[in-house]
């Protein structure tokens, strides 16, 4: 096998961005599945996809696809990914990986039992400037890392019925926006030893703003701010005893990274932006998923974000939600499929 045959589950905006990048990067996009034939047909025509399925069940049963990209809303990630795994497909799941750590662990277990790759589509981990950041940290340029700061703040729709504000759809700043700085902090500093979270909730009970202060190994500290109601710098900073890194707006997308010494002298500028007219960067996570499959690496040690870390990060998000008092109805109070009520 020289490449994987992709199927896309759901036809929303992120699915379209992913399909566009797959096509631009030359990946084999074979099928799309939607909850209606009309939507599947329109998406297939737009991206020149050979087969359009009128249900997710039909998509995952397609013998001519090897891997499924799950692009449905957050609360559907677990069931949709599990459906694909149960049909023997490898799975790339749009971030946030699931809604709870229990759901994430369930997918990890099923994938391990079947020898399949399941991976979170956290594209930031695979972008050139993030690869370079890990190299800079590893070679000691920054000395001992003492703090990490990141924000993901945007001005998004305020309609209470919009999925971003509806708790039953996993709404709130945390899962849509906060996952980026939290995953970034995990990437640099690893698992937090302590977590302190605060938030402002809106009338629907969803979080409009979330802030965290966490401590990590060796006493390093991290801070994050996420907001769906106000646009900020969307930058990230890594500060060490010998220097610092600044990643400009938007740190979670292809961006420019600058390294400074402790006296403020610019040491390096790395431009990780994608060339105009090509893929925007989502193809890199697809390539990583293919590499994990083709190298027989189901647990993902070759990946910048192995499944075990995605599961652990969901645990961090669970604790943040516990502290700020956000509960997703029909998810937090529902057993996983196959569990006793």
Catalytic positions: 95
Question: Which residues, 6 or more positions from 45, have their beta carbon under 8 angstroms from its beta carbon?
Answer: none
User: Which residues lie closer than 8 Å to 212 by C-beta, 6 or more apart?
Assistant: 178, 182, 195, 196, 197, 198, 222, 223, 224, 320
Report the alpha-carbon distance of residue 175 to residue 171 in Å, rounded.
7
Question: Residue 210 — φ and ψ, nearest 5°?
Answer: -135, 135
* Among candidate residues 245, 177, 180, the one with its CA nearest the CA of residue 206: 177
For residue 283, give both structure tokens: 């193809």
- First-last CA distance in the chain: 43
Query: Could you tell me where the beta strands, DSSP code E, fall in the chain?
Result: 5-9, 28-33, 51-53, 67-70, 90-94, 118-121, 145-153, 194-201, 207-215, 221-227, 236-240, 243-247, 256-261, 266-271
């Amino acid at each position: 096998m020289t490449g994987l045959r992709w199927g896309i589950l759901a036809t929303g905006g992120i699915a379209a961005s992913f399909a566009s990048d797959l096509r631009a990067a030359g990946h084999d996009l074979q099928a799309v599945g939607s909850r209606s034939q009309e939507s599947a047909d329109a998406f297939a025509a737009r991206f020149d996809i050979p087969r359009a399925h009128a249900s997710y069940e039909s998509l995952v049963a397609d013998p001519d696809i090897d891997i499924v990209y799950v692009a449905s809303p957050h609360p559907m990630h677990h069931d949709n990914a599990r459906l694909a795994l149960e049909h023997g497909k490898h799975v790339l799941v749009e971030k946030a990986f699931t809604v709870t750590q229990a759901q994430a662990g369930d997918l990890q277990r099923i994938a391990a039992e079947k020898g399949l790759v399941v991976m979170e589509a956290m594209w930031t981990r695979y972008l050139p400037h993030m690869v370079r950041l890990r190299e800079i940290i590893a070679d000691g340029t920054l000395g001992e890392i003492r703090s990490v700061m990141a924000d993901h703040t945007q001005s998004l729709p305020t309609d209470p019925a919009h999925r971003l504000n509806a708790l039953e759809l996993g709404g709130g700043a945390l899962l849509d926006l906060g996952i980026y700085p939290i995953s970034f902090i995990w990437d640099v500093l690893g698992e937090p030893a302590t977590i302190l979270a605060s938030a402002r909730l809106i009338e629907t009970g969803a979080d409009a703003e979330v802030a965290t202060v966490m401590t990590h190994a060796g006493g390093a500290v991290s801070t994050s701010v996420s907001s769906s109601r106000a646009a900020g710098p969307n930058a990230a900073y890594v500060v060490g005893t010998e220097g610092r890194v600044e990643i400009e707006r938007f740190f979670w997308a292809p961006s420019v990274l600058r390294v400074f010494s402790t006296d403020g002298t610019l040491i390096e500028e790395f431009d990780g932006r994608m060339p105009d007219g090509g893929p925007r960067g989502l193809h890199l996570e697809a390539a990583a998923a293919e590499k994990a499959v083709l190298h027989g690496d189901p647990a993902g040690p070759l990946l910048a974000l192995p499944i075990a870390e995605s599961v652990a990060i969901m645990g961090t998000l669970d604790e943040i939600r516990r502290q700020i008092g956000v509960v997703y109805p029909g998810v937090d109070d529902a057993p996983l499929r196959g569990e006793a009520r």
